[in-house]
């Protein structure tokens, strides 16, 4: 009996559950593993989120860039800034001698959301009435953090722009040639 009990106890102790230490070690390891996995997935998720934001921002920047380029290419001559000068606005003359202005307006709503100054890039083309006409005004880009126009020749404009989106910023530089109207009349 004793022998049997001893045998039984001995067998139970070998086949039984884990000791407290073992359980604690395993739990510790599992916690570390779970923490690692959680951290990894969070990090991957964050990276993916950042990248998708970046891609969306790039797409928006591309759209903005196209809008600005198309508008500038309608011009035939850079009036302001003068060559060699940088300004945050642009004045162009077009083929029928109308003036177009590209300038920044505060985007207050987004500025409050992002807690930093954000602007809209607005284009206005004068007509011959001599008074302001709302229809001639168009917002080209909504989320401009910063933009400058530099004139390196009367036929081209260099743009340095930063577009913002949910606190991410994308900056690009580009060079836009104006409409070519040929040479001096001769």
Partner 1 sequence: MTRKRKKGFSLVEVMIGVAIFATVGVAFLSFLSQSIGESKFSAEYFSAFILSQKVMEDFSEEIAINPYGFETLGVDENSTQYSEVVDGATVHFSGLEDQQKPYGKIDPGADNTINAKVVPLYEIVKKFQFRAQAKRLEKTGDGEKRNLLRCNLEFLWDAKIGKGQYETSCSFFSPVTAKKIDLALNVDQAAIDARIPKDFFNAPGKSLAQIANERSSTVETVTALGRIALVTEDFMKSQYYTKQMKAIADLKKKLALIPASQFDQEYAVRLAIALAWYDLAKACYQIVVYLEPCFATLQSQNVSALQTGTNTLNPIQLQEALFHYRIIYEYFVGSIVQARFYYYALIEKDLALYKGGKRELQVLQKLIDLYRIVALLASVPTGMDQYKAFLGRLDTFADGRNLYLQRMVRQEMIYLQDPAVWMEKFPNLKRISSIVKARIPQILAFIKARTDDAVLNADNSY
Report the interface residues with partner 1, using CB under 8 A.
Answer: 15, 44, 47-48, 51-52, 54-55, 58, 62, 65, 76-79, 82-86, 93, 148, 150-156, 158, 160, 162, 169-177, 180, 183-186
| Nearest distance, CB of residue 134 and partner 1, angstroms | 28
Bond preceding residue 26 cis, omega within 30 of 0 = no
CB atoms within 10 A of CB 102: 23
Residue 11 vs 109, nearer CB to partner 1:
11
Gap between the Cα atoms of 95 and 103, Å rounded: 21
| Nearest distance, CB of residue 162 and partner 1, angstroms | 8
Burial of 121 (0-12, 13-18, 19+ CB in 10 A): buried
| Nearest distance, CB of residue 74 and partner 1, angstroms | 15
Residue 28 vs 177, nearer CB to partner 1:
177
| Nearest distance, CB of residue 25 and partner 1, angstroms | 17
Gap between the Cα atoms of 159 and 175, Å rounded: 6
Residue 138 vs 168, nearer CB to partner 1:
168
The answer to whether 127 touches 94, Cβ cutoff 8 Å, is no
């Amino acid at each position: 009996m004793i022998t049997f009990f001893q045998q039984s106890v001995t067998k139970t102790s070998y086949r039984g559950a884990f000791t407290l230490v073992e359980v604690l070690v395993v739990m510790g390891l599992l916690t570390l593993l779970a923490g690692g996995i959680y951290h990894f997935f969070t990090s991957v998720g964050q990276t993916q989120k950042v990248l998708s934001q970046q891609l969306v921002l790039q797409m928006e920047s591309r759209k903005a860039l196209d809008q600005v380029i198309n508008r500038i290419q309608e011009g035939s001559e850079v009036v302001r800034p003068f060559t060699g000068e940088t300004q945050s606005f642009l004045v162009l003359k077009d083929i029928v001698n109308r003036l177009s202005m590209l300038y920044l307006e505060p985007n207050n709503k987004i500025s409050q959301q992002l807690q930093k100054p954000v602007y809209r890039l607005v284009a206005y083309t004068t007509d011959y009435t001599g008074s302001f006409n709302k229809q001639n005004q168009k917002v080209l880009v909504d989320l401009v953090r910063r933009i400058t126009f530099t004139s390196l020749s009367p036929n081209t404009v260099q743009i340095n722009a930063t577009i913002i989106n949910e606190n991410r910023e994308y900056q690009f530089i580009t060079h836009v040639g104006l409409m070519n109207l040929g040479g001096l009349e001769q």
